[in-house]
Amino acid sequence: MTQALVVRPVGGPMNGVPAVPGSKSQTNRALLCAALAEGTSRLSGVLFADDTAAMLEAVMSLGCDVRIDRHNASLEVTGIGGALNFEELTIDCRSSGTTSRFLLPVLLAGKGKVVLDGSEQLRSRPFGEQMQALRSLGGTLNELGGSDELPIEIIASGLEGGKIKISAANSSQFVSGLMLAAPLFEGGLTVELTDTPVSRPYLDLTIEVMKKFGVVVEEDGDSVYRITEGQYSSTDMMIEPDASAASYFFAASAITQGNIRVKGLHRNSWQGDIQFVDVLEELGAQVTWGPDWIEVQGDRLSGGTFDLGNFSDTAQTLAAVAAFAESEVEIKGIGFIRAKETDRIRAIVTELMKCGVEAIEMSDGLIIKPNTWRLTGASIDTYDDHRMAMSMALLGLRVPRIEIRNSACVSKTFPDFFSVLEDLRPRAAPSTDVVGVAAIDGPAGSGKSTVARALAAELNLPHFDTGAMYRAVAVAAFRQELEFSDASAIAELAKTAEISIGEKIIVDGVDATDEIRSAEVSQLVSVVAANREVRRILVPLQRQWATELGGGVMEGRDIGTQVFPDAVFKVFLTADLPIRAERRFRETEGQTFEDVLKDLQRRDHVDSTRDDSPLEVAPGAVIFDTSNMAIEDVVGELAEMFRSRVEG
């Protein structure tokens, strides 16, 4: 187990063009076809990662000559022309499902004895359906460990083809492996699917790669594939960027309201996982399809129900995005991913719940009921699953203290993932015409005032307590004995009262510094803040206030959403309700803890449901749970985030 990695929130929109590596699926298919071909093939844009290294080592052990150019992401492969001969060979497939499931039928077409093995994780994955199909053709396979699992001894003497019926309801890799091996079988092979296959786009990808290497797959409807006996031919092939890997950056754009473009992918790409951007678009992101690129612009995220059966490798990515949505997200059609590197449905539900996300496990998917107020940092178990590590890291873009354990597991498909993600971190200093405001929002008792004052002092910036403005109006109303239900009278008072906000709060010439924190004012300030006309009067004053001083730390309940939606740094402070109540209870006199708790519940409801500028998490804001943290620790982390955001 390697050291854990803590993801630092970005504090702003992520923008840029990430360096997405080549497609693992396309690389391994092309590499195997090149190895079986006559002549020399040149593959460009290939992925160099653990999964492709497994395939590369395997084909070299079979006698292929391979020239590797990592700097230019290319391979020159001189194939063996289908002549597969081996003696007492053992092939380690590491944790690569494609390597093992593609090689198993290919090796049976050769001559000799070979053991196919892999990591403990790969040993736990099923092979029974593919083994049963191969045995029906006369193949000799001996399990040396568990039933239907690696390691498997293959005793090969060539294989006659014929017709195979296979479900493919658990893995498309079983079918892809049979199709890739089919030209080597005597008489070729016909594959008939008895069920609707999962991840059908991967079957289409297999067919396209085989076609590129000179082998034609005849399709009879959606369920029958015919491949004649024949020979792969060498070719030159450009590998597309990995669409599954690209999904993490598209998701990062959606989560942070950024703008990210991935080059090399387009509407006609071979990979089915490009459909993920259609899901993001349905959630509310803006998607632009270029001739050789796809761009995603983040926006507010709604909810919905999505069947990811054909692009299930993005299910965990979508689950991470759903944590920031405004309504429920259901992901269905992915029951088969329980047999991937781990039970991915159970794993993502477990880890999301650690972070305060309500997630419900279903037989074929999951339901996420987001509540951004509850998001909190956690130590994430990755289950040695690269997609768990990369998807859960996305939460850390907006939630502090997300720790990814065994982060090195991303080397399976994307060794440079974390450095590429870091390269998209927004660091540019604000331009001269942008006010450098740090917007601190959150519910009562979350620590806004204390944190904002301390943060302003730490950063040597002005501090603006916008909540004090509304409290001052409430004080003026109390003094004049106005009815708080009289919205017009309260609004008129907001216009005429003389209010000075500084080290002391002065209302109509009288010090109200202590008075604005009284229990009476605390109970009714939400009514004042919910008054549309009062807000119409005070919000321009708040903007003017910060603009005249060139920025600062501004706190309230709608700073990042209404007052300064373009603030360079937005934070939503939160804490568990009982902890917020305890904080308020220590600050008040004459009230029981139960009274304070009920009042906070009431205020949360009023603030979050009011018609005008309700309390909500600003899009892209860092969501900071202060429940179990000392003020100095909160301030220290926020100061670091702010400096990295505006100073570079």
- Highest mean pLDDT out of 195-199, 307-311, 615-619: 307-311
Q: Which of 310, 321, 306, 318 is nearest to 273 (CA)?
A: 310
Helix (H) or strand (E) holding 162: strand 160-166
Q: What is the pLDDT of residue 2?
A: 58
Top pLDDT among 22 and 525 is at: 22
State how beta strands 304-307 and 329-332 pair. Answer: parallel
Domains of the chain, CATH where assigned: 5-20+242-423 (3.65.10.10), 24-238 (3.65.10.10), 436-646 (3.40.50.300)
The pLDDT tens digits for 244-288 are 999 999 999 999 999 999 999 999 999 999 999 999 999 999 999
Q: What is the rounded average pLDDT of the residues 81-102? A: 95
Burial 116-151 (b: 16+ CB within 10 A, else e): bbbbebbbebebebbbebbeebebebeeeeeebbbb
The pLDDT tens digits for 417-440 are 999 999 999 875 544 445 588 999
18-32, 263-277, 425-439, 484-498: least confident range: 425-439
Helix (H) or strand (E) holding 260: strand 259-263
User: What percent of the chain shows pLDDT beyond 70?
Assistant: 98
Q: pTM, whole model, 2 decimals?
A: 0.92
Q: Reply yes or no on whether 599 is catalytic.
A: no
CA-to-CA separations, 190 to 81, 138, 216, 227, 229, in angstroms, rounded: 22, 15, 12, 6, 11
Q: Which of 292, 185, 297 is nearest to 241 (CA)?
A: 292
Which amino acid, one-letter code, is at 482?
Answer: L
154-158, 182-186, 314-318, 546-550: least confident range: 546-550
Set 50, 242, 273, 313: catalytic member: 313
DSSP-assigned states of every residue in 334-378: -GGGGGSSS-HHHHHHHHHHHTT-EEEEETTEEEEE--GGG---E
Residue 452 predicted with pLDDT over 80? yes
